[in-house]
Amino acid sequence: MRGVDATLAGLKQAGIDAVFGIPGGPVIPLFDALSDDSDIRTFLTRHEQGAGHMAQGYAKVTGRAAVCTATSGPGATNLVTPIADAYMDSVPMVALTGQVGSNRVGTDAFQEADIVGITLPIVKHSYLIKKVEDLPGAIAEAVHIAESGRPGPVLVDVCVDVWAQDIEPYSGPYPPQIPGYNPPTTAGHPRQIAAAAKALAHAKRPVVYAGGGVIISGADGELIRLAETAELPVTTTLMGLGGFPASNPRWVGMPGMHGIAAATWAFQESDLVLAVGVRFDERVLSTVMHEWAPGAKIIHIDVDPAEISKNRSAHIGIAGEAKAALGALADAYNAQSERHDHAERVAWQAKIDKWKADHPYEIDTDTDGAIPPQRVVQKLYEITRGQAVVATDVGQHQMFAAQHYLFDRPRRWITSGGLGTMGFGLPSALGAQVALGREELIIDIAGDGSFEMTLQELSTAQMYDLPVKVVILNNGYLGMVRQWQELFWEGRYSGTSYEAFQPSFADIAKAYGMPGLTITDEADLEDGLRETLAHDGPALIDVRTHEMAKVFPMVPQGKGPDAIIVGHKG
Ligand SMILES: Cc1ncc(C[n+]2csc(CCOP(=O)(O)OP(=O)(O)O)c2C)c(N)n1
């Protein structure tokens, strides 16, 4: 068969059923073959960045890779941001790019860009295919590498002449055996598990620090079991929201720069941190990492051994798969004779609960009549009874969403954590809608600044009848940066105000053939949100919110966790 047919056969064997992208000369053969294929749905987007984020949204809600595709040169370079985003947040994705002819590689041919070289530091793996014999194996490996172990983006860059050449489809073992690539699939070393179980029993003030790895490995059930068995308070990071039910009384909340103060204080007083599927990111620990949890013994479980002791030394490191490791840890805990002191645990949880009760997330009240942005998220949560899938852009609105929309289940929260990519919201929401079907309510909580970066994908929403609801928290500013300027740059708002010009987002929505509403008065908020959410198709609501709202708590950049600003009064 032709190389391109072997490619589709390989993708299907690996379970790929969606491709997002835009064609150009070197991928015309791919699009041509896709048009005859009824097993793979092809989505033509309006920008390759949108295609990449759609693949990420698809992956976030399913755990499975999707494919984004682009032509050589500018098409491929437009994929760089989503590839970097997927790398930072461990999202499985295959980027399939076309390249100039194999005999022209390296000649500065028309639309030649060395995309393998450009993306080398931001891919889990990459291939440049100049010979058709290498293509079927590369496709099989690419999907497997993207999805297994610590997931990530894999690039397959295919020279245009290769598509048409004859080759046998992949017939090797599945998943393919890749020399030197053996990500952990087990719990990790039993002696380390036993040591961790013992440490948990002897701890007086333990806290769980759970991240995206819990969701990726499907370890939420095991985490609940362990937390109940050993009576552990649990925090879930921005990437881990939904990995432990927000309604569980042991849930402390989100830790970190804009997390709940109770989580920061719990870590500061803890004598043991059980970290699982996290990377001790500076947005959690603060930039002064050694000041975080200074008295705590650290247990660190991660499928990627390179993460263990990278940012903070682990006393007990467990290179294991989170689901297996947490299950084994719960079993080891039950099997050992050591037990925690129940009364001590109850007192510790009560102390954390009091911090939570005394210092909940603040709502901006001093708004001069303007709508507090937090209220919009709270209303959305109320109206949807917490059942929506929520995607966000990046900025204050992202943090308000993380703080006020609560998740009881994994894979309902789609956000750009590590890279912090403005413009991520709309396309990732569309990718999630493709994966889950049009019956699922998917809300993109967008910032006015971020939304303008990828809003052309409203066309994709219309073209494929993807009924995503866009809720813009419009403060007329690049709000998060404005907040930093207010707090740390003496209120010099340089380059952050859109006061001089902003388009009508409601009119933009109408131009894209969907309803658009503008809300300026809190009295109209609930009806406006209900009307938007009830529309049977994509719809947009532009909510004008308080321009000077700030996200609190905040641990200022460059300071340790003890410098936390809890709220407006300090
Ligand atoms: C692509 C990109 N450019 C710049 C930034 C830096 N940045 C972080 S938050 C932010 C402001 C975002 O503004 P908006 O989308 O309106 O959200 P808000 O903070 O106002 O809620 C900026 C510019 C970024 N994260 N991503």
pLDDT tens track of the chain, all 570 residues? 999 999 999 999 999 999 999 999 999 999 999 999 999 999 999 999 999 999 999 999 999 999 999 999 999 999 999 999 999 999 999 999 999 999 999 999 999 999 999 999 999 999 999 999 999 999 999 999 999 999 999 999 999 999 999 999 999 998 999 999 999 899 999 999 999 999 999 999 999 999 999 999 999 999 999 999 999 999 999 999 999 999 999 999 999 999 999 999 999 999 999 999 999 999 999 999 999 999 999 999 999 999 999 999 999 999 999 999 999 999 999 999 999 999 999 999 999 999 999 999 999 888 889 999 999 999 999 999 999 999 999 999 999 999 999 999 999 999 999 999 999 999 999 999 999 999 999 999 999 999 999 999 999 999 999 999 999 999 999 999 999 999 999 999 999 999 999 999 999 999 999 999 999 999 999 999 999 999 999 999 999 999 999 999 999 999 999 999 999 887
At 63 the pLDDT is 98
Inter-axis angle of helices 80-88 and 48-62, to 10 degrees? 20
Question: Ligand 1 center to residue 477 CA distance, Å?
Answer: 9
Give CA–CA dist 424/169, Å, rounded: 35
Atom of ligand 1 nearest to the CA of 475: 20
Is the Cβ atom of 420 under 6 angstroms away from ligand 1? Answer: yes
Question: Ligand 1 center to residue 482 CA distance, Å?
Answer: 10
Question: At residue 119, what is the residue type?
Answer: T
Question: Ligand 1 center to residue 114 CA distance, Å?
Answer: 29
Is the Cβ atom of 237 under 6 angstroms away from ligand 1? Answer: no
At 366 the pLDDT is 87
Give CA–CA dist 491/483, Å, rounded: 9
According to DSSP, the β-strands at 442-447 and 539-544 are unpaired
According to DSSP, the β-strands at 297-302 and 389-392 are unpaired
At 568 the pLDDT is 87
Residue 417, CA distances (Å) to 224, 357, 455 in order? 24, 27, 20
Is the Cβ atom of 474 under 6 angstroms away from ligand 1? Answer: no
Mutate to test the pocket of ligand 1, among 85, 88, 257, 394 (most ligand atoms within 8 A of CB): 394
Question: Residue 102 in 3-state DSSP?
Answer: coil
For ligand 1, atom 4, name the residue with the nearest CA: 422
Question: Ligand 1 center to residue 404 CA distance, Å?
Answer: 19
Question: Ligand 1 center to residue 395 CA distance, Å?
Answer: 5
> Given the structure tokens 């309803």, which residue do they identify?
515
At 320 the pLDDT is 97
Mutate to test the pocket of ligand 1, among 397, 478, 543 (most ligand atoms within 8 A of CB): 478
Question: Ligand 1 center to residue 396 CA distance, Å?
Answer: 8
Is the Cβ atom of 449 under 6 angstroms away from ligand 1? Answer: yes
For ligand 1, atom 5, name the residue with the nearest CA: 422
Is the Cβ atom of 450 under 6 angstroms away from ligand 1? Answer: yes
Mutate to test the pocket of ligand 1, among 49, 450, 547, 552 (most ligand atoms within 8 A of CB): 450
At 386 the pLDDT is 98
- Reference 442, options 408, 472, 412; nearest CA is 412
Question: Ligand 1 center to residue 122 CA distance, Å?
Answer: 21
Residue 228, CA distances (Å) to 188, 237, 246 in order? 22, 19, 14
User: CB–CB of 86/167 below 8 Å?
Assistant: no
For ligand 1, atom 8, name the residue with the nearest CA: 395
In sign, the C-alpha dihedral spanning 247, 249, 255, 258 is positive
User: CB–CB of 214/282 below 8 Å?
Assistant: no
Give CA–CA dist 532/380, Å, rounded: 11
Which residues of 36-162 form beta strands (DSSP E)? 41-44, 66-70, 93-99, 125-129, 153-159
Atom of ligand 1 nearest to the CA of 478: 13
Residue 339 class from Cβ within 10 Å (0-12 exposed, 13-18 middle, 19+ buried)? exposed
At 570 the pLDDT is 78
Question: Residue 544 in 3-state DSSP?
Answer: strand
Is the Cβ atom of 397 under 6 angstroms away from ligand 1? Answer: yes
Is the Cβ atom of 416 under 6 angstroms away from ligand 1? Answer: no
Is the Cβ atom of 479 under 6 angstroms away from ligand 1? Answer: yes
